[in-house]
């Protein structure tokens, strides 16, 4: 975990011009927030291992309507170079199945910061065809320029 924080801090340092710094302040602030998040996560994982379930989309080992809210961050749309439309459709329908509330997927840009407008529209059409209501909403926090929106699936 520490090695991963170090790796991303080095990346942020070398690529600082690519990001927005209003939330973290600077590269050190980014490292501090990520380091603290990693520390809290590791401590909670050790203290409450029963809270964590390893699983892989598009199939989740949870009953229908298991959660009040489902969040997916930096997976869908981020890896559009290797996860296709069919994967996104299946993954979002699965996330909707296990949520009794909203599903929120963020951001809607690829790993290289390219807006995934076409894929988002295709997936929204797939969801509409499956009777799942989806909309794009603005978010306050985002780190990558152009990444200020999320896809919200309403129950």
Ligand X SMILES: C[S@@+](CC[C@H](N)C(=O)[O-])C[C@H]1O[C@@H](n2cnc3c(N)ncnc32)[C@H](O)[C@@H]1O
Residues at the contact surface with ligand X, assessed by CB under 6 A: 56-57, 73-75
Measured from the CB atom, is 57 or 93 closer to ligand X? 57
Measured from the CB atom, is 133 or 137 closer to ligand X? 137
Measured from the CB atom, is 13 or 73 closer to ligand X? 73
Residue 48: CB minimum distance to ligand X, A = 19
Residue 20: CB minimum distance to ligand X, A = 16
Residue 73: CB minimum distance to ligand X, A = 3
Residue 97: CB minimum distance to ligand X, A = 14
Q: How many residues does the chain have?
A: 155
């Amino acid at each position: 975990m520490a090695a991963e924080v170090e790796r991303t801090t080095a990346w942020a340092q070398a690529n600082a011009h690519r990001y927005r710094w209003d939330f973290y302040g600077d590269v050190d602030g980014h490292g501090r927030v990520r380091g603290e998040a990693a520390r809290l996560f590791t401590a909670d994982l050790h203290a409450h291992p029963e809270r964590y379930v390893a699983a892989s989309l598009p199939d989740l080992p949870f009953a229908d309507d298991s959660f009040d809210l489902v969040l997916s961050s930096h997976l869908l749309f981020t890896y559009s170079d290797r996860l296709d439309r069919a994967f996104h459709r299946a993954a979002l329908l699965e996330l909707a199945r296990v949520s009794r509330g909203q599903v929120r997927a963020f951001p809607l840009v690829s790993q290289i910061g390219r807006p995934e407008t076409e894929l988002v529209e295709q997936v929204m059409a797939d969801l509409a065809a499956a009777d799942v209501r989806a909309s794009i909403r603005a978010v306050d926090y985002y780190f990558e320029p152009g990444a200020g929106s999320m896809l919200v699936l309403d129950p």
